[in-house]
Amino acid sequence: MAAYTIDIERKGRDGLLEFRSGSVKVSTRCWWDPGMIIDAKPGGYTGISTTMATKTDSVTGEPRPAIWFGKGVSYNGGARRGDGAFIHEGTGASWSDGCVVIARIEMMRLIEAIKPKGQYNVTINITDARSSGGTPRKPVA
């Protein structure tokens, strides 16, 4: 089974998401909620291509294609932990409550290159070029 890698480099208020598989190369700007910053993790996260039943694709209206980070993702230096982190389409940080978002056209190129889908064959690496900026959201009381 082929393994894929998504590299996310945070550079401040946005970042660069890169993916390569054969002739498919994605190098695109990405965004996230500055109050919910996914922690970088040694070895990366093991993700799975999927669709989000609670959201629709902005063009087709079908369930939105996405990459799920898996359970127990840490945010804000370990202050929060959750199971709902995805990479999916979006055009800016305001579309995110913690997910990483990229332009739809790039998301579709990335998703369509992953075969087979629905397998834990995607490694997601997150690095910080410098401080990611933003103020982490205060924990729920």
Partner 1 sequence: MTRRNLRIAFASAALFAATVQASADGPDRNAFLMSTLLGLDTSDLFATGTYTPEGERAALEAIYTDLRTKAGADDIEANDNIVRFAFLGWLAEARNDSALSESYVLDLQALFDKRGDAVMGAVAQAPFLVPNFCATLARFFFHGDNPPAERFNFFMGIEPQMRVLFGPLDGARCTVAYYDVKS
Q: CB 140 → partner 1: shortest distance, Å?
A: 6
For 86, list phi and psi in degrees, rounded to 5.
Answer: -135, 165
Q: CB 119 → partner 1: shortest distance, Å?
A: 10
Is residue 65 at the binding interface for partner 1, with CB under 8 A as the rule?
no
By three-state DSSP, how is residue 113 classified?
Answer: helix
How far is 113 from 20, CA to CA, in rounded Å?
A: 9
Sign of the C-alpha dihedral, residues 102, 18, 120, 69? negative
| CA-only gyration radius of the chain, Å | 14
**Ranges within 81-140 binding partner 1 (CB under 8 A):** 81-86, 88, 91-92, 94-99, 118, 140
Q: Report the interface residues with partner 1, using CB under 8 A.
A: 33, 35-36, 48, 50, 52-55, 66, 68, 70-71, 75, 80-86, 88, 91-92, 94-99, 118, 140-141
